Each structure stands twice: as structure tokens, then as C-alpha cells.
């Protein structure tokens, strides 16, 4: 892994990004940090042994001061820098999640509106079909009734004891003749 990568450099390209570390896992980092602390303390103790005998309170101040001076860059490199990198990645991920959530909410609202409009259109169309169906059923019933009336009139005309002829007033041609009229005139239907 390359420790010189910028925080979040891979986030913009959509790839996941691993923490900046040249030593691998967090356990490896803890072990390396413990080793550096041990070595730093050993070096400080070694250096203090070359200095002429100091009072205990001076040794008590010099020892931690040298230890902090030696460990500060190591702590920065192994603790602070990876943590700030992880915080930056987390902030970028949260920002991206908020943006995606907002976008998704807008899409859901838009699709919900589309579905509501489609539902309204379908209900209106269904109402139109129902009205048309009722109109057609009424027209069919009226035609059936008219047809039944015509059949009844036709039956009455055909079974009448009188000859009935219907003529076209313009041409004088026969349009219809009942059975009695056909027999009286000597024609067949």
C-alpha cells in the first residue's frame, strides 16, 4: 500500500479506499508502536546513564521529556495520521450517502407522483369504459326490444287475414307484402 495517497483519492472514482498504512493491520501497528516505545525508552535510559548523576526529580522530568520528544513523530505517523485519514474517508462517505439519500428521496417522490397520476388516469379510463359499457348495454337492450317489437309486428302482419302491401311512393314498387297478399296476388316471397 502506498502511504503517500491523498485521503479519499479513490472515493471520487467509486473504488473503495483502504487506510493509509505501510505496516498492514491495526494489530501490526500496535506491535510496531509497542516496539518503538520500548526502543525509545531503552535509548532514553541509555542516554541518561551517560549523564552525571542527577537528582531524582530532574531524572523524573528529563526521562519523560526525551521519551515524548522521540515518540511524538512516531505517534503522529502511526496513530494521528491514520485516524485523520479514516475520519476524512468517513466524512466523505457520509456526504456521499447524504447526497445519494437525497437523490433517492427525490426519485421516490417523482416516481410516486408518476404512479399517482397513472393511477388517476387509469381510474378515469376505467370510469369511461364503465360508462361506455353501460351505454352499449342500454343500446343493445333497446335494439333487442326494437327487434322483438319488429318480429311481433311482422308476425301480426304475416298472420293477418287481410292482404297488406307496402309500396315505394316514388317508384310504385313493392317493398313488402304479407303472406295473404302474396297468395291473393299469386306471387311468392
Place of cell 520500548: 38
Here the cell at position 167 is 309500396
Q: pLDDT tens for residues 144-187? A: 999 999 899 888 888 888 888 888 999 989 888 888 888 888 88
DSSP state, residue 23 = S
The pLDDT score that the predictor gives to residue 171 is 93
Indicate the pTM of the whole model.
0.46
Residue 105 half-sphere exposure, CB side, CA atoms within 13 Å? 6
- Residue 6 dihedral angles phi and psi, to the nearest 5°: -75, 145
Q: pLDDT tens for residues 34-81? A: 898 899 889 888 888 888 788 888 888 888 898 899 889 888 887 888
- Residue 110 dihedral angles phi and psi, to the nearest 5°: -65, -45
Cα 52 to its chain centre, rounded Å, is 75
Cα angle for residues 84, 76, 51 (degrees, 5° grid): 165
Q: pLDDT tens for residues 115-154? A: 999 999 999 999 999 999 999 999 999 999 999 998 998 8
d(CA 160, CA 64): 135
The pLDDT score that the predictor gives to residue 22 is 57
The pLDDT score that the predictor gives to residue 23 is 57
Alpha-helical segments (H) within the chain: 26-50, 56-75, 81-158, 179-185
Amino acid at each position: 500500500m502506498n502511504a503517500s495517497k491523498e485521503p479519499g483519492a479513490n472515493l471520487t472514482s467509486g473504488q473503495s479506499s483502504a487506510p493509509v498504512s505501510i505496516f498492514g493491520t491495526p494489530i501490526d501497528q500496535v506491535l510496531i508502536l509497542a516496539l518503538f516505545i520500548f526502543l525509545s525508552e531503552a535509548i532514553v535510559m541509555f542516554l541518561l546513564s551517560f549523564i552525571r548523576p542527577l537528582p531524582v526529580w530532574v531524572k523524573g522530568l528529563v526521562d519523560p521529556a526525551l521519551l515524548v520528544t522521540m515518540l511524538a513523530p512516531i505517534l503522529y505517523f502511526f496513530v494521528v495520521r491514520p485516524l485523520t485519514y479514516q475520519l476524512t474517508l468517513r466524512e466523505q462517505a457520509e456526504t456521499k450517502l447524504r447526497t445519494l439519500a437525497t437523490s433517492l428521496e427525490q426519485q421516490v417522490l417523482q416516481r410516486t407522483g408518476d404512479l399517482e397520476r397513472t393511477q388517476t388516469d387509469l381510474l378515469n379510463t376505467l370510469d369511461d369504459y364503465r360508462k361506455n359499457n353501460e351505454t352499449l348495454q342500454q343500446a343493445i337492450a333497446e335494439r333487442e326490444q326494437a327487434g322483438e317489437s319488429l318480429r311481433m309486428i311482422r308476425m301480426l302482419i304475416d298472420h293477418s287475414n287481410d292482404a297488406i302491401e307496402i309500396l315505394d311512393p316514388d317508384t310504385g314498387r313493392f317493398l313488402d307484402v304479407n303472406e295473404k297478399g302474396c297468395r291473393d296476388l299469386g306471387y311468392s316471397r
